Chains A and B, each alone.
Chain A
């Protein structure tokens, strides 16, 4: 297994910034994905990191450090619609399937 860990739940205020962490224990993977999943809906792609560093995409940024086995998703200028589950996933070396972490349920409050 790849032991992908994320906090179970987080709460943040509308307009604020929140950081969702993901740690993992594996030596081999192609890259790390972040997906957003609203209740009852399909996961949707947010970001992908293959090299160490920060990838910025509008209000969302994702960071990867392979040496530390660590990634985070940064959400800025939070909106109510950002309340969702955020899934960290590792792309396998072979077959390119995804192993998902347990997900972090984010609640954005007024």
Chain B
């Protein structure tokens, strides 16, 4: 199983809503990532978790709150988002971040629209 799954595939939310994006992998990977991708732009790193601990936060606004409840799951909690936060949110995982060459496997993404 070399798959990273993400739910939901599409999400429309208002600026006052609270929602969560979910990501799951069963490859035994110990590093998980959240990226944000705007249309016709490359993915931009948001957060990195290593062994269920947050290791990188790319100065992401606090309205985005990541959570890694166990080694297979990664959540992104959303609250009071702005329309400019509308984007494709990609989750990725890799085997380990303690060695070089860590191929990242990407999920299909959640397309988020904030109205």
- Write the residues of chain A forming the contact surface with B, with a CB cutoff of 8 angstroms: 30-31, 33, 41-45, 48, 50, 87, 89, 91, 95-103
Instruction: State whether A96 touches B103 (Cβ < 8 A).
Output: no
Which residues from B are CB-within-8-Å of A33?
103
Taking a contact as CB atoms closer than 8 A, the residue among A41, A45, A96, A99 that contacts B31 in the complex is: A96
Q: How large is the interface on B (under 10, 10 to 19, 20 to 34, 35 or more residues)?
A: 20 to 34
CB distance from B102 to the nearest CB of A (A): 5
Given A42-B106, A42-B108, A43-B106, also A96-B45 (CB < 8 A): no
Contact across chains for A42 and B48 when beta carbons are under 8 A apart: no
Interfacial chain A residues near B13, Cβ < 8 Å: none
* Docked-complex contact B101 and A50, CB < 8 angstroms: yes
Query: Residues on B close to A: CB < 8 A?
Result: 4, 31, 33, 41-45, 48, 50, 55-56, 90, 94, 97, 100-109
A31 to B101, CA, bound (A): 7
A14 to B10, CA, bound (A): 34
